[in-house]
Structure 1
Amino acid sequence: MAVKAPKVTAPRLSPVTLADLREDPAPDFQRGERYDGVRYSRAAADGLELSGTDFAECEFDGVSFNDAQLRGATFRDCILSELYAPVFRAARSTWRDVQLNNPRLGSAELYESGWQSVRIDGGKLDFLNLRGAKLTDVVISDCIINELDLGSAAGARVALKNCTIGTLDLTGARLKNFDLRGTDFRTISGLGSLAGVVIDDYQLSLLAPLLAGHLGVVVL
């Protein structure tokens, strides 16, 4: 009797549609303020203290947030294109119905953040720290990530498509429908937390020696 293949549930993304945005060529961002329906182009928010700031239905094009403090900030119904920050500090931030196009981030400190219906398309991130984060309905595609830390994170309906990852850490992660098919990774840690991860045959062949070592299996 044939064994029925388990069903993989794909991420459910809400489209981000922005209309009637007003332009702000020289924004004066302030900590804890709320910004609605604004388009920011080639603006610089480097080094600003923006903890708890709320952005809703905003578009960011080529904005630099290098070393800005975005701890606890919220981005809702936003599109961010060409986001730039060698140091991106947004721990415990909230991202809901957000699209990021071709971001360029060095150290992205997003630990204990919450992501729901988020898409990242393209770009390069040196270090993406999502330790302890909660990810629901997330797609990351065609992206280069040198180091991805998902330690102790919770992820449901997450897909990484055609990405290149150097080091992937899943230690203590709780995952369901976490789809890695088509993504290349050089090293992976946290093999005991692979439950809920979806891989293809080729990825399984690469993981086989690591899994054997983890389980104490001797292959002769």
Structure 2
Amino acid sequence: MADRKHGVPTPETHSTVRSEDWDGRDLSGEAHERVAFIDVDMTETSNHGAVFTECTFRGVKFNASAHTDAAFLNCTFTRCAFFDATFTRCKLVGSMFDGCTFDLLKVVGGDWSFVGLPGANLRGTSFANVRMREADLTGAQCEGASLRGVDLSGAWLHRADLSRCDLRGSDLASLDPLTVELKGAMIDPYQAVVVATALGLDVRSGDQEP
């Protein structure tokens, strides 16, 4: 299992929901704390405002589920499926993902700061206007993903594959161009200056004296 940043332990759970069929269930307004959800089918669930605090999800299917203004705080997701899932203005602060699949995942707005996604396969996913401060994206595979307007300040990006990734409008101050793959990535002019400066180049306008 992938480790949390700085070796922080996984929160203990106090109750368990196992092998239940929640397909299509409306989770809106529910609150769960330190619950272990194991092999639960949450396909096509709808969720407006539910709060999951320090819960563990193991082998849970979130396929085609829709979450709006919901919170998954300091939760742990292991071998979960998020095919075509949508998270809108959700908080996943401090949550950890290990061995999960994210095909066609869409995230719009919200706070995913301190999230752990080391080595995650995020190819083809879409993150727009999301706060991901100090997120662990070490070795993440983001080829062809869209990370538009994402706050990546302080994020761990070592060995991340950002090739062909749309990064326009995102904070790239933490990016070391020498330790990530950037071939074909799309950036805006301001970001080009940030990347060039990180490479040690002296960026000046044409009329500036050396």
Distance 1:36 1:116 in 2: 19
- Bigger relative contact order, structure 1 or 2 (CA pairs below 8 A, ≥6 apart): 1
The correspondence for 1:43, drawn from 30, 34, 39, is 30
Residue correspondence of structure 1 range 104-123 to structure 2 within 5 A: 104-123=91-110
Is 1:211 the counterpart of 2:206? The answer is: no
Q: Does 1:70 align with 2:57?
A: yes
Map Cα deviations across residues 27-48 of structure 1 (whole Å, 9 max, x no partner): x982232321111111012211
- What do residues 64-90 of structure 1 show as CA deviations (whole Å, max 9, x unaligned)? 111111133221010011221331211
Q: 1:115 to 1:125 in 2, by over 3 A?
A: same
Q: Which residue is equivalent to 2:189? A: 201
C-alpha change, 1:78 and 1:29, in structure 2 (3 Å) is farther
Judging changes above 3 Å, is the alpha-carbon distance between structure 1 residues 118 and 147 closer, same or farther for their aligned structure 2 residues?
Answer: same
Q: Write the letter of the residue equivalent to 1:51.
A: I
Structure with the higher fraction of residues in strand conformation:
1
Equivalent residue letter for 1:96: F
Q: 1:171 touches 1:191 (CA, 8 Å); kept in 2? A: no
Say whether the 8 Å CA contact 1:70–1:89 is kept in structure 2: yes
Q: How far, CA to CA, are the matches of 2:53 and 2:177 in structure 1? A: 31
* Distance in 1 (alpha carbons) for counterparts of 2:79 and 2:176: 24
CA distance 1:176–1:194, shift in 2 (3 Å): closer
1:189 deviates by: 4.0
Structure 2 counterpart of 1:103:
90
SS at match of 1:110: strand
Paired residue secondary structure (1:205): helix
Identify the range of structure 1 (40-49 vs 151-160) with the bigger mean alpha-carbon deviation. Answer: 151-160
Conserved? CA contact 2:118–2:139, under 8 Å? yes
What is the Cα deviation at residue 184 of structure 1? Answer: 2.1
The structure-2 alpha-carbon separation of the partners of 1:172 and 1:163, relative to structure 1 and needing over 3 Å to count, comes to: closer
Unaligned runs of 5+ in 1: 1-27, 214-219
Q: Size of the alignment, in residue pairs?
A: 187
* Residue in 1 that maps onto 2:39: 52
Bigger shift: 109-118 or 186-195?
186-195
Match of 1:166 in 2: 153
- The alignment's C-alpha RMSD in Å is 2.2
* Deviation of 1:194 (Å): 2.7
Q: In 2, distance between residues paired with 1:190 and 1:132?
A: 18
Asked if the contact 1:112–1:131 (Cα under 8 Å) also holds between the matched residues in 2, the reply is: no
Within a 5 Å distance, the mapping from 1:77-96 to structure 2 comes to 77-96=64-83
Q: Which runs of 4+ in 1 moved over 3 A?
A: none
Change (3 A) 1:78 1:33: same
Does residue 1:141 correspond to 2:128, yes or no?
A: yes
Per the TM alignment, residue 165 of structure 1 is displaced from its structure 2 partner at its CA by 2.1
Match of 2:178 among 183, 191, 205: 191
**1:100-138 residue CA offsets vs partner (Å, 9 max, x unmatched):** 011112202013322111111111122121101111321
Aligned to 2:7: none
Consecutive unaligned residues in structure 2, runs of 5 or more:
1-14, 202-209
Identity of aligned residues (%): 23
When normalised by structure 2's length, the TM-score is: 0.79
Looking at structure 2, the residues matched to 136 and 33 of structure 1 have their Cα atoms a distance apart, in angstroms, of: 30
